Structure formats: C-alpha cells, structure tokens
A and B are shown apart, each in its own frame.
Chain A
Amino acid sequence: DVVLTQSPLTLPVTLGQPASISCRSSQSLVYSDGDTYLYWYQQRPGQSPRRLIYKVSNRDSGVPDRFSGSGSGTDFTLKISRVEAEDVGVYYCMQGTHWPPWTFGQGTKVEIK
C-alpha cells in the first residue's frame, strides 16, 4: 500500500502569513496515463472534507487562489499564501494512483498562533 507522510502534523500560523504542508509518498504517484492522482482536502472543525486541489495543482471551483498545490513524483506541497481565520482545520493529502486501497496522509492541523 502507498503510504503518504505529511509534515508537519501541527502548523501554528500567524494570520496573514504563509503556510506550507508537505506530503511525501512511499512510491511515485505518476499513473500509466501520465497523470498524477494526488489530491488535497480541507476539513474544518465539525465539517466534512472539502476538496481543494486535484491532480497536484488544479484548484477546485470556489477555492480561493491563496491555496496552491505543487510537486511531482513522490514529493508534494500545499501552500497557503496568506492564512485567514477560516483556514483553520485539518488538511489531508490523498492518492488515487495505486489502488486499492486509496490512501490518505495522517493530516496536518493548521491553527492560529
């Protein structure tokens, strides 16, 4: 099974400052079709997960442009250019290249300092 390792697990940030979350995969997430099926999700307190980014770097509809995804192969990053209070929550990466199973990272909790 593919293991996704996120870091840090907790990320205290100052409002208006940038934040960055790393997701490393135990194997390359490039699929045979050339695409890389790495996704990022936000889960606000008490809410369901919401997809932010699909296939590494594509923002979902309605997602603020302060969120961006990058990376390739086994190393991926989610960046928030300027953290806002509504960004508090847990962020998960997920892979859909090597399945089953589909696997998630452990989650990174973003909190305000």
Chain B
Amino acid sequence: EVQLVESGGGLVQPGGSLRLSCAASGFTFTSLWMHWVRQAPGEGLVWISQINIDGSRTNYADSVKGRFTISRDNAKNTLYLQMNSLRAEDTAVYYCTNSFDRWGQGTLVTVSS
C-alpha cells in the first residue's frame, strides 16, 4: 500500500524556518518525481515545488522561489522541504505527492507572531 507521511509542521514566527519531511513507502520512490502542494485555510490547491528522481533538477512556484528548498534522500525514501524566511501567507496545510498519484495526509504550517 502506498503511504506518504508528512511531518515537521507547526507554529513559527514570521521570518523563521521549518523543515518538512515526507516518508514514502509502498512504491518505488526512486522512480517518481515528487512534489509539494499547499492549501491555505479554506482555499484551493497550489503547487509549490517539484524534484526529479535523482534530485538534480528542481522547480519552484514564484511565491516560494529563493526561500524554499526541496530535496530528497533516496536511501531513506524521504522527501524534504526546507522553508526559510516564512511569511504569514505561507500558512497552509502542506501535502507531498508522488507525481500527483497519491497524497499524504498533510502537515499544518502556521506562521504567526
């Protein structure tokens, strides 16, 4: 069974940092691109970042470019999102997804003073 389990969310002050993790199992992690998608409270889905199978190529939404960094550890079947310089508008549930097939349960990031 495919499982994606996010962790690392929480309350952080504006300007702070968080690192999200997504532990993957039940599929061949090394064969799929991975993505992060977020959903602000009461809002729709927004793609924010993608990484290819070996981590050599990444893409970011303009809203997070230069502040967020996606990475993966194929030995640990884990996807990461390093989030720096956080803003109130980054408050959202963050989902990881394996090429938009399956999605994790999400982890809530709240940026507030």
Nearest-Cβ distance from residue A94 to partner chain B, whole angstroms: 7
Name the A residues within 8 Å of B35 (CB-CB): 102
A76 interface contact, C-beta 8 A: no
B44 near A102 with CB under 8 A, answer no
Interface residues of A in 63-113 (CB under 8 A from B): 90, 92, 94, 96, 99-107
Name the B residues within 8 Å of A41 (CB-CB): 45
B95 interface contact, C-beta 8 A: yes
Q: How many angstroms from the CA of A107 to the CA of B35 in the assembled complex?
A: 20
A48 near B105 with CB under 8 A, answer yes
The contact string, 1 if C-beta is below 8 Å from chain A, for chain B 48-75, is 0010000000011100000000000000
Q: How many A-B residue pairs have CB under 8 A?
A: 44
The contact string, 1 if C-beta is below 8 Å from chain A, for chain B 97-110, is 00011111110000
Which residue on chain A has the smallest CB distance to residue B6? A48
A104 near B61 with CB under 8 A, answer no
Q: How many angstroms from the CA of A50 to the CA of B106 in the assembled complex?
A: 13
A39 near B100 with CB under 8 A, answer yes
B47 interface contact, C-beta 8 A: yes
B44 near A104 with CB under 8 A, answer yes
Q: What is the number of residues of chain B that contact chain A, defined by CB distance less than 8 Å?
A: 17
Nearest-Cβ distance from residue B77 to partner chain A, whole angstroms: 19
Which residue on chain A has the smallest CB distance to residue B35? A102
The contact string, 1 if C-beta is below 8 Å from chain B, for chain A 28-65, is 00000000000101010000111100000000000000
Q: How many angstroms from the CA of A60 to the CA of B61 in the assembled complex?
A: 27
A92 near B45 with CB under 8 A, answer yes
Name the B residues within 8 Å of A92 (CB-CB): 44-45
Interface residues of B (CB under 8 A from A): 35, 44-47, 50, 59-61, 95, 100-106
Knowing that A39-B100, A104-B46 are A-B contacts, what are 4 other residue pairs whose CB atoms are under 8 Å apart, sorted by A's residue number? A101-B59, A102-B50, A106-B44, A107-B44
Interface residues of A (CB under 8 A from B): 39, 41, 43, 48-51, 90, 92, 94, 96, 99-107
Which 9 A-B pairs give the minimum distances between C-beta atoms?
Answer: A100-B59, A102-B47, A48-B103, A104-B45, A107-B44, A49-B103, A101-B47, A106-B44, A101-B61
